[in-house]
Amino acid sequence: MTFDRYGQLKPRGNHRWLQDREGDFPRICPFSPSAKNEDELAERHFPVARIRNDMLGRFEAAFVGHADEGEFRANGSSGGMVTWVAAELLRLGLVDGVAHVTANDPTGSDDRLFRYTISRSSDALSAGAKSRYHPVEMSEIFDTIRHVPGRYAIIGIPCFIKAVRLSCLADPILNERIAFTLGLFCGHMKSARMAESFAWQMGQDIHDVERLDYRMKCPERPANWYRAQLTLRNGDTRSRDWWDLADGDWGAGFFQNAACNFCDDVVAETADIAFGDAWREPYSADGRGTNVLVVRSPELLEIIRGGMEFKRIELSAVDAPFVISTQAAGFRQRRQGLAFRLTWPRWRLRPRKRVIAARRGLRARRMMIYAMRYAISLWSHRVFWLARLLRWPGLYLVWARSMLTCYHSLAYSRGALGRMLDRLGASGAEGHD
């Protein structure tokens, strides 16, 4: 996997290998039409799951809450439950290592900001807590798992966990050694240019950035007021709220990977357990962070129940509609929005999705929101590329701010255009359909 000119990771190989429909690649690539889909994989791994739901897949139980013991919650992006469960797997001796995404020191020959690594202690795991909305790849950790015997857990976003499941089907060593998969809910993935753009807007060059925290924890503010912080090579820090940044509205889709337009798994349906943020009140107002969890593996459910019993974690059981409501925007974009995008003509490979192409009953304004999001994703890569080439950040920033204004009027009825759309009776703004 190598970075392309837009800061996205792409598989690299000769034309024959990439086009070969019979080889390993089409069987293990999570986007391949010939690979097993999420339903088929979930049926294989959770054949007797207690609950089956169209949006959440198969699962045993769901919870909302946070880690209570130690610093898991304070160190985590949300309620710290991902690191707590991973640390518990290590503590109980159920795994020897946990593969997850940690900060890389970009000062050496490897200038990546983040990479997958394997942590073998609770301290190392905690040092790697936090969400990284940044492209990474798994080839190094697969090599390690193949060469170093032991049992492993892997943390990943839904398409990565699907890739792990497909790789295990193709490789008996991975299958034997990967004992647990911990999924993260996913809205979409950003390109590496998002970090560069944040640096530009904080008056810095990305090459002077040593560390990036996409979500600084500010317990005194609502959890959904994201604040990004850069730590520079000279030790100084710079931080800004995402809302102040030209491309900081997550829902507008700046720098989104094109594959995410054709993804229908929000909650890591093939993972043994999946974690997200509880994006609904009163939880989203609590800056300390709160998780939602979907537990699919009976073994992990026992570990969760044990933690609850001894008050090491503070969780309450919730039902499927509760979990779905915490990800309302994500499900709209990847169910209704995906159905609409699938009606568009496509000349290249046609993705095989569980969602059926449909636009019937969709209001004009909703179609415009989906189309605008798609256009913002597509053009943000290209305009940033040009601005970078010309060393002219203003070119990208003026474009991004104009796009954001149009998007906000369409999606949230902001500004004169938004008010006009409302007066014309154009319903379908975000959250009002």
Q: Which does 185 bind (CB under 5 to 8 A by kind): ligand SF4, ligand FAD, none?
A: ligand FAD
Kindly state whether residue 260 participates in binding ligand SF4, applying the rule CB under 6 A.
yes
Q: Which does 411 bind (CB under 5 to 8 A by kind): ligand FAD, ligand SF4, none?
A: none
- With CB under 6 A as the contact rule, the residue among 6, 63, 133, 407 that binds ligand FAD is 133
- With CB under 6 A as the contact rule, the residue among 28, 67, 155, 189 that binds ligand SF4 is 189
Q: How far is the CB of 208 from ligand FAD (least distance, A)?
A: 23
Question: Cα–Cα distance between 137 and 78 in angstroms, integer?
Answer: 23
Measured between its terminal Cα atoms, the distance across the chain in Å is 40
* Total interface residues for ligand FAD by CB under 6 A: 34
- Under 8 Å between Cβ of 289 and 77: yes
| Bond prior to 282 in cis (omega within 30° of 0) | yes
Name which of residues 146 to 175 contact ligand SF4 (CB under 6 A): 157-159
Q: Which stretch binds ligand FAD (CB under 6 A): 57-65, 167-175, 181-189, 280-288?
A: 181-189
Q: Which does 330 bind (CB under 5 to 8 A by kind): ligand FAD, ligand SF4, none?
A: ligand FAD
Q: Which does 158 bind (CB under 5 to 8 A by kind): ligand FAD, ligand SF4, none?
A: ligand SF4
Kindly state whether residue 77 participates in binding ligand FAD, applying the rule CB under 6 A.
yes
Q: Which does 351 bind (CB under 5 to 8 A by kind): ligand SF4, ligand FAD, none?
A: none
Q: Which stretch binds ligand SF4 (CB under 6 A): 119-127, 245-253, 260-268, 273-281?
A: 260-268
Kindly state whether residue 80 participates in binding ligand FAD, applying the rule CB under 6 A.
yes
By the criterion CB under 6 A, which residues form the site for ligand SF4?
157-159, 186, 188-189, 257, 259-260, 263, 265
